[in-house]
Amino acid sequence: MKRLTYITAVLATGVIIMSSCHNKRSPGSVYMPDMAYSRAYESYAKRDSTKFTTDPAKRGSSLIYFDNMPAEGTIKRGELFPYTLPNDSIGYAKSAMVKNPLDSVTMSKEEMTETARLFNINCAICHGEKGTANGPLATSGKVGGVANLTGDVYVKMADGTMFHSITYGRNNMGSYASQLDRKQRWMIVKYIRTLQPKATAPAAEPVTAAKADSTAAKKG
Ligand code: HEC
């Protein structure tokens, strides 16, 4: 009897070993189907209308509501908070009060290089690499009234106003909200500042600070 059990065990093991390696790409006999075949929802697969609905009115019924959109108020990791001023003249006027959230952040060399790249791809075609409105679309006359970002008006223009215009567009310039995320747009505003000559008239504070620095440097 003992021997019979032994032989059966050896045969069974043999059969299992033989049957498990005839085709590397096949999972063989599936013993836990959920592990072998994913039940996850496939993003672009056709949705089974007996289970899912995209109609918000049917939310909460026996159907599962799913519209591929992230939940309202979702902010992607690393992204800044939403910009809430509306795209109208009041929003434009108020935008001057919005501070650049990256003001106190010193951008790394890599970030500066990346921002220059983004500016050259998206903006230089009109504004030119140096912001002086000599991009090909401006010089060829295809787009009129391109702003010279190094001009006095733009040196004095608030960061928030620039951000507002980059977000919503302005006259002949389109919106860049879908091409550049909020952080990238604020980074570009900082980058524009580096293209500009230093502000002369209203920059009382930085001048004193610079003076204080130079006196401190002389003393030290
Ligand atoms: C198709 C050409 C074009 C492109 C591309 C373009 N701009 Fe402009 N931009 C303009 C024109 C034209 C104006 C002047 C709008 C006006 O005041 O009539 C302008 C104005 C501006 C202003 C001043 C806005 C204001 O409120 O007066 C800023 C800042 C600016 N652009 C930044 C950018 C940045 C940053 C990019 C790239 C993300 C960009 N622009 C891409 C054409 C362009």
Band (161; pLDDT cuts 50, 70, 90)? very high
Band (213; pLDDT cuts 50, 70, 90)? very low
Distance 208 CA to ligand 1 centre (A): 32
Return the ligand 1 atom nearest residue 170 CA.
15
Q: What is the pLDDT of residue 215?
A: 41
Query: At a CB cut-off of 8 Å and minimum separation 6, what does 78 contact?
Result: 183
CA 10 to chain centre: 60
From atom 2 of ligand 1, which residue's Cα is the shortest distance away?
126
DSSP 52: E
Residue 135 pLDDT > 50, yes or no?
Answer: yes
User: Taking the CB of residue 157, how many other CB atoms lie within 10 A of it?
Assistant: 19
Assigned token pair, 189 = 């505003």
182-195 and 109-122 helices, crossing angle to 10°: 90
Alpha helices, H only, 148-181: 152-156, 159-168
Instruction: Answer with the residue of higher pLDDT: 171 or 27.
Output: 171
DSSP 170: B
β-strands 64-65, 52-53: how paired? parallel
State which of 173, 179, 184, 196 you would mutate to test the pocket of ligand 1, scoring each by most atoms of that ligand within 8 A of its C-beta.
173
Integer Cα distance of 102 and 184 in angstroms = 10
Instruction: Answer with the residue of higher pLDDT: 211 or 167.
Output: 167
From atom 8 of ligand 1, which residue's Cα is the shortest distance away?
173
Band (67; pLDDT cuts 50, 70, 90)? confident
- 198 in Cβ contact with 172 (< 8 Å): no
Rounded to a whole number, what is the distance in angstroms from the first to the last CA of the chain?
A: 99
Domain-wise residue ranges, the chain: 89-202
Identify the residues whose C-beta falls under 6 Å from ligand 1.
122-123, 125-127, 137, 143, 145-147, 149, 161-162, 165-166, 170-173, 176, 188
Return the ligand 1 atom nearest residue 154 CA.
23
Band (85; pLDDT cuts 50, 70, 90)? very high
Beta bridge partners of 64: 52
Assigned token pair, 49 = 């209308």
Return the ligand 1 atom nearest residue 162 CA.
29
CATH architecture for segment(s) 89-202:
Orthogonal Bundle (1.10)
Distance 144 CA to ligand 1 centre (A): 11
Distance 73 CA to ligand 1 centre (A): 29
Distance 209 CA to ligand 1 centre (A): 31
